[in-house]
Amino acid sequence: ATLIGSTAMTALVGRVPVQGQVRDPMPFKVITGADNLAANGLTVPGVQGMVWSGTAIGDWTLSCVTGRLDSVTFIFEDGTIRTISSDDQGNQGGGTRKPLGWISDQQGIPCITGERKTNAPAFLTQRIGVMAVQAAADAAASAETTSVVSDVGSVTSSVTGDAGTFVLGKTIAGGSDEVAKWLLERQSQSFDAVFVPAGTRIAIHVDRELPIDLDTTGRKLTHAKSIDPFTRTQLD
């Protein structure tokens, strides 16, 4: 089944894979209301809406986000809720975990266009600046030394110039090296992503059979019951 006109409840943040892998993909939620179901010819009596949950992955080249749906919660008119997950479906079939479906844009493209988010320009600028300072400091320190090669091929270096300039150059070079290491550690914890804002209209494509069973004794959003004011009781 395909449910056109669903709405993203949360933003879709697709982390861009690094070496073909995505660490901790970002979750997202999509809502499908009763009007959406009716518009798609899927009028289900008693169902007020559906809330889908899944994970997103970004595509840097196409600047878009793909998403897989892992669970869905049905909300019935009497307040009862029922959740179906891909784990339950996989266990029942005795196979591996498979998604319930996937998402696309309104035109059916299975990758929703978004905005690239990255700190690469800032990182590269800082990295180049730090490495330039380190190279200049090393060169200044080396200019104050003299290297002598012995008959056996060993090299001996000694400070023959200004000792203060040599110490200053080595100090700046060492500090720059520590800053460069810190930048690398911070960059290893960051990631590039593609961002799609909440409220975007998307389409739901369901690939699995979803048993919509109303459990009268299941969990409910509200347990209030209406009382008929005209009900009369009799004494024994």
Of 2-6, 35-39, 57-61, 134-138, the least confident: 35-39
Q: What is the pLDDT of residues 121-154, one digit of tens each?
A: 777 888 888 888 888 888 888 888 887 777 677 7
**Is residue 111 domain-resident?**
yes
Count of all residues that appear for the chain in the document: 236
Asked if 102 contacts 110 with a C-beta cutoff of 8 angstroms, the reply is yes
Instruction: Check whether residue 36 and residue 129 sit in a common domain.
Output: no
**Is residue 223 domain-resident?**
no
- CA pseudo-torsion sign 171, 176, 181, 186: positive
The conformation of residue 183, written as its DSSP 8-state character, comes to H
Instruction: Check whether residue 145 and residue 106 sit in a common domain.
Output: no
Instruction: Check whether residue 140 and residue 183 sit in a common domain.
Output: yes
The whole-number pLDDT of residue 202 equals 92
Instruction: Check whether residue 10 and residue 87 sit in a common domain.
Output: yes
Asked if 117 contacts 192 with a C-beta cutoff of 8 angstroms, the reply is yes
Instruction: Check whether residue 140 and residue 159 sit in a common domain.
Output: yes
Surface-to-core class of residue 178, CB atoms within 10 Å of its CB (0-12 exposed, 13-18 middle, 19+ buried): exposed
The amino acid that residue 204 corresponds to is I
Instruction: Check whether residue 75 and residue 58 sit in a common domain.
Output: yes
Q: What is the pLDDT of residues 82-112, one digit of tens each?
A: 888 887 655 555 556 788 999 999 888 999 9
Number of domains in the chain: 2
Beta-sheet pairing, 201-206 with 101-104: antiparallel
Higher pLDDT, 154 or 204: 204
pLDDT surpassing 50 at residue 212: yes
For residue 105, what are the domain limits? 2-117+192-206
Instruction: Check whether residue 137 and residue 112 sit in a common domain.
Output: no
pTM for this structure? 0.68
Q: What are the phi and psi torsion angles at 103 (to 5°)?
A: -120, 160
